[in-house]
Amino acid sequence: MQDKDMQERGTQDEKIQGTEEENAGLLLLRKGQKGIMHALFSRLGLFALLLILQVFVLFSVFHWFENILPHLLGGTLLFTILMVLKLLNSGLDSTAKNTWLVVIMAFPVFGILLYLYTQSEIGHRAVKARVEHLIKQTKEAIPQCEETLQKLKEREPGAAALVKYVNRSSCHPVFENTQVTYFPLGEAKWEEMLRQLEQAKEFIFMEYFIVDEGLMWGKVLDILSRKAQEGLDVRVMYDGTCEFANLPHDYPKRLRKLGIKCKMFSPLVPLLSTHYNYRDHRKILVIDGHTAFNGGVNLADEYINHIERFGHWKDTAVMLKGEAARSFTLMFLQMWNIDEKEVKFDGFLDRAVPAADKTQGFVLPFGDCPLDEDKVGERVYMDILNRASDYVHIMTPYLILDGEMEAALKFAAERGVDVKLILPGIPDKKIPYALAKMHYASLLHSGVKIYEYTPGFVHAKVFVRDDKEAVVGTINLDYRSLYHHFECATWMYETPCIDGIEQDFEETCRKCREVTPETIWQGYKRLRWIGYLMKVVAPLL
For 444-494, what is each residue's pLDDT tens digit? 999 999 999 999 999 999 999 999 999 999 999 998 899 889 999 999 999
Residues 256 and 144 in one domain: yes
Predicted confidence band at 274 (pLDDT cuts at 50, 70, 90)?
A: very low
Measured CA to CA in angstroms, residue 453 lies from 24, 272, 281, 421, 510 at distances of: 27, 40, 23, 10, 9
Predicted confidence band at 42 (pLDDT cuts at 50, 70, 90)?
A: low
What CATH number is attached to the domain comprising 244? 3.30.870.10
Nearest to 262 by CA among 305, 328, 205, 189: 205
Residue 44: the pLDDT is 56
Residue 71: the pLDDT is 60
Sequence-separated (6 or more) residues with CB below 8 Å from residue 144: 167, 173, 174
Q: Is residue 480 included in any domain, yes or no?
A: no
- Residue 372, classified by CB atoms within 10 Å of its CB into exposed (0-12), middle (13-18) or buried (19+), is middle
Long-range contacts of 124-133 (CB under 8 A, 24+ apart): 124/273, 124/274, 124/275, 124/278, 124/371, 127/275, 127/278, 127/338, 127/371, 128/371, 130/338, 130/339, 131/334, 131/338, 131/369, 131/371, 131/372, 132/371, 132/372
**Boundary (domain end) residue, out of 314, 339, 360:** 360
Task: Provide the total of helices (H) and of strands (E) in the chain, helices listed first.
Answer: 21, 18
Q: Is residue 12 included in any domain, yes or no?
A: no
Q: Is the dihedral of CA 326, 330, 336, 337 positive or negative?
A: positive
Examine the pLDDT at 357 and tell me if it is beyond 90. Answer: no
Q: Is residue 366 included in any domain, yes or no?
A: no
Angle between helices 403-414 and 94-106 (to 10 degrees): 140
Q: Is residue 534 included in any domain, yes or no?
A: no
Rounded to whole angstroms, the Cα distance separating 370 from 335 reads 13
Residues 319 and 260 in one domain: yes
Residues 131 and 112 in one domain: no
Residues 96 and 141 in one domain: no
CA 67 to chain CA centroid, nearest Å? 52
Q: 295 has which bridge partners?
A: 317
Examine the pLDDT at 155 and tell me if it is beyond 90. Answer: yes
The 10s digit of each residue's pLDDT in 58-68 is 666 556 656 66
Q: Name the more confident of 13 and 536.
A: 536
Q: Name the more confident of 98 and 309.
A: 309
Rounded to whole angstroms, the Cα distance separating 375 from 397 reads 19
Residue 67: the pLDDT is 63
Nearest to 178 by CA among 286, 292, 287: 292
Examine the pLDDT at 497 and tell me if it is beyond 70. Answer: yes
Residue 374: the pLDDT is 87
The 10s digit of each residue's pLDDT in 382-438 is 999 999 999 999 999 999 999 999 999 999 999 999 999 999 999 999 999 999 999
Q: Is residue 472 included in any domain, yes or no?
A: no
3 state SS of 365:
strand
Q: Is residue 221 included in any domain, yes or no?
A: yes
Examine the pLDDT at 8 and tell me if it is beyond 50. Answer: no
Examine the pLDDT at 4 and tell me if it is beyond 50. Answer: no
Predicted confidence band at 269 (pLDDT cuts at 50, 70, 90)?
A: low
Q: Given its phi and psi angles, is residue 201 left (phi above 0), alpha (psi -120 to 50 degrees) or beta?
A: alpha
Sequence-separated (6 or more) residues with CB below 8 Å from residue 53: 110
Q: Is residue 426 included in any domain, yes or no?
A: no
3 state SS of 421:
strand
Q: Indicate the number of domains in the chain.
A: 2
Domain with 61 in it: 42-119
Q: What share of the chain is helix, strand, coil (3-state, %, to 5)?
A: 50, 20, 35
Residue 49: the pLDDT is 67
Residues 274 and 210 in one domain: yes
Residues 268 and 354 in one domain: yes
Mean pLDDT, all residues of the chain: 85
Q: Is residue 33 included in any domain, yes or no?
A: no
Residue 343: the pLDDT is 81
3 state SS of 204:
strand
The 10s digit of each residue's pLDDT in 218-255 is 999 999 999 999 999 999 999 988 877 889 989 999 99
The 10s digit of each residue's pLDDT in 67-119 is 666 666 666 677 777 777 777 777 777 777 777 777 777 777 677 777 776 66
Rounded to whole angstroms, the Cα distance separating 533 from 245 reads 28
Examine the pLDDT at 18 and tell me if it is beyond 60. Answer: no
Residues 481-505 as b/e (b if ≥16 CB within 10 A, e otherwise) read bbbbbbbbbbbbbbbebbebbbebb
DSSP, residue by residue, 28-69: HHHHHHHHHHHHHHSHHHHHHHHHHHHHHHHHHHHHH-STTH
